[in-house]
Structure 1
């Protein structure tokens, strides 16, 4: 697995921000799947500032989410709401480029609608870039250990948080693996043990969706800060 270790989380998100600019200069629309969590907050704040807020051709970028909680977009737990407040409210991006899961809707109906939107908008259902985080239990998106069907051929699935029982809609492992590029953005000392297990091919890591989900025909890479990689 390819990994790049940065001194700080800020350096990691700066690298991703620079790549957003490169993607935005392509001739065709680019479909990017975002992640929730603490490190992406840093990314969104960085993108909302100069020079990225004005130099990126936002009209060429289409944004999706790896997962979303079934809550109102104004709820503090909404992944979309977080990006709206930290980034979208500060840049010039067409509304039609934002493809959110409607967390306020009934979950079964929204699952069907979301899958149809992916089918209609994303060529061959192959995302150009999927940015993922990783929880301290090894989950990614809302694909949790011992709950994930890695053979699910649907585009999205209804997931339940193992502790809170909160409902979410998540991209499936198979859809994520169709992406042209997958980047795991993982920072912080709390992730160091699991990162070490993944890169050491520890048998325990086979239960972690983040260890198993990789691009089938594209590139998979890990962007780590020093704290997350300290045991490597």
Structure 2
């Protein structure tokens, strides 16, 4: 696990965009196509916008990158709360990516049906054998003030699921359902970038990186068990509660 400490959200955006573009370039130097899972939230939005601008727009071979989502709200794709809509309007609508390379979660079907459909889509695109887990080349995540990642919220049933790729997760604290990749899928990614900014996330970041409480109350702690590289991008406000190396 590595921590990249940036002065403010603006420098975080630039460094994250640079490293995402580099990670995609390296991935495509080694294999025919690259699988990237996107995150919702306020911190990733300017990163996506930056990737759609020079020089990154020209550096990325968009035709060879496939875009997925780590989680989604149970809303149609044109809804203001849609993670797909945010990423599409911020980045994908402005770059030469083939429509068949965009694999959104069909949340308008309802949470349960959307989770089943997206699991089938992952199995199809990754050509998975029964019981196999996809390995995203790059997984982007944020962390909520409560310590959640994707839509794996504290003390929710999806945290215990190990036999599904995608699950509908009931989130009582928000009185809603979400669709989310499951823990085995997140932890299998080759590289994970966690983008966090703001003082309101500082306590959750400290618990995730240095805390010793149960991961059921701070799901971001699960990332300590990731199989691949884990890199935290933190501005100083988000990192201010860390005890080491700041």
Please report the TM-score for the alignment, with normalisation by the length of structure 2: 0.87
SS at match of 1:38: coil
> What whole-Å deviation, never above 9, does each CA across 1:156-190 have from its counterpart, x for those lacking one?
11012333322221000111111111121111110
1:108 to 112, 136, 155: 112
How has the CA–CA distance of structure 1 residues 130 and 70 changed in structure 2, closer, same or farther, with 3 Å as cutoff?
Answer: same
Measure, in 2, the Cα distance between the counterparts of 1:205 and 1:169.
Answer: 20
How has the CA–CA distance of structure 1 residues 40 and 84 changed in structure 2, closer, same or farther, with 3 Å as cutoff?
Answer: same
1:59 to 57, 63, 71: 63
Q: Which stretches in structure 2 are left out of the alignment for 5+ residues?
A: 128-132
SS at match of 1:101: coil
* Residue 159 (structure 1) aligns with: 169
Measure, in 1, the Cα distance between the counterparts of 2:209 and 2:227.
Answer: 20
1:150 to 139, 144, 160: 160
SS at match of 2:108: coil
Aligned residues: 232
Measure, in 2, the Cα distance between the counterparts of 1:144 and 1:38.
Answer: 17
- Please say if 1:11 is aligned against 2:11: yes
* Residue 197 (structure 1) aligns with: 207
SS at match of 1:182: strand
- Please say if 1:128 is aligned against 2:122: no
Q: 1:201: how far off?
A: 2.5
SS at match of 1:62: strand
Q: 1:215: how far off?
A: 5.3
CA-based RMSD of the aligned residues comes to: 1.8
- Greater displacement, 68-77 / 151-160: 151-160
* Residue 141 (structure 1) aligns with: 150
> What whole-Å deviation, never above 9, does each CA across 1:96-119 have from its counterpart, x for those lacking one?
111000111133322221101111
2:50 to 46, 54, 71: 46
Measure, in 2, the Cα distance between the counterparts of 1:57 and 1:184.
Answer: 23
- Please say if 1:188 is aligned against 2:192: no
Q: 1:200: how far off?
A: 2.9
> What whole-Å deviation, never above 9, does each CA across 1:113-172 have from its counterpart, x for those lacking one?
110111121265111111110100001110011114334221011012333322221000
Q: Which stretches in structure 1 are left out of the alignment for 5+ residues?
A: none
Please report the TM-score for the alignment, with normalisation by the length of structure 1: 0.92
